Amino acid sequence: MAAGNVAGVYAAALLELAQANGSTDLVIADCRNVIEALTPAVVSQLDHPSVTKTQAKQALRTVFAGSPKEIVNLLQLLVDRNRLADAQPILRAAVTAHERAAGLVNVTVVTATPIAGSDQQQMDQRLRSLPGVGERAAISWSVDAGLVGGITVRVDDLFIDGSVRRRLTDLKQLILDAPVASDRLWSE
């Protein structure tokens, strides 16, 4: 995990504290729940100027009363430091760091059309054989007709775009950036 950014630093501290308290699995499971519950709309309401920090912290304690104390304390600290908007990235970074430490790699494959079961299994095997992926990869498949054709693959933070949509976008930009000799454009 890159702990050089805000989310990485807070996530590393959360994981270290959870490990010291022996509650890592519980904290990580709850991180996933809090990520879903703490939507941008909720954060904006808690960050609203009419809501005091004390009120925001009390609301968080009430809503997340069943959460591990590490999570509740982190959320309250974020309120104190005016960083509640960073809660989702911090919690995502904690989950990702925990998964990486456990050897789990998330792979997301998006295709323009559904892939047959045998072809999908072959692709799964090829993806698992890539360096840094391995057998513990969690591979999820989805279909997006907007790709027009081709495939996109995301391995954690690495994104590979082999879609026709991207190629068409690149071609459009190439055409738009091409120099045009305007003096010859309208000559007869």
Summarize pLDDT for 26-47 with one digit per residue, the tens: 999 999 999 999 999 999 999 9
* Domain ranges, ordered by start, for the chain: 6-100, 103-177
pLDDT tens for 49-105 read 999 999 999 999 999 999 999 999 999 999 999 999 999 999 999 998 998 888 888
DSSP string of the chain?
A: --TTSHHHHHHHHHHHHHHHHT-HHHHHHHHHHHHHHS-HHHHHHHTSTTS-HHHHHHHHHHHTTTS-HHHHHHHHHHHHTT-GGGHHHHHHHHHHHHHHHTT-EEEEEEESSPPPHHHHHHHHHHHHTSTTT-TTEEEEEEE-GGG-SEEEEEETTEEEEEEHHHHHHHHHHHHHHS---HHHHS--
- Whether pTM exceeds 0.85: no
Please count the other Cβ atoms lying within 10 Å of the Cβ belonging to residue 57: 19
* CA trace torsion 110, 28, 61, 13 (10° rounding): -110
| CATH entry, 6-100, from 3.20.20, 1.10.3470, 1.10.520, 3.40.50 | 1.10.520
Q: Tens digits of per-residue pLDDT, 100-149?
A: 888 888 899 999 999 998 999 999 999 999 888 888 888 999 999 999 99
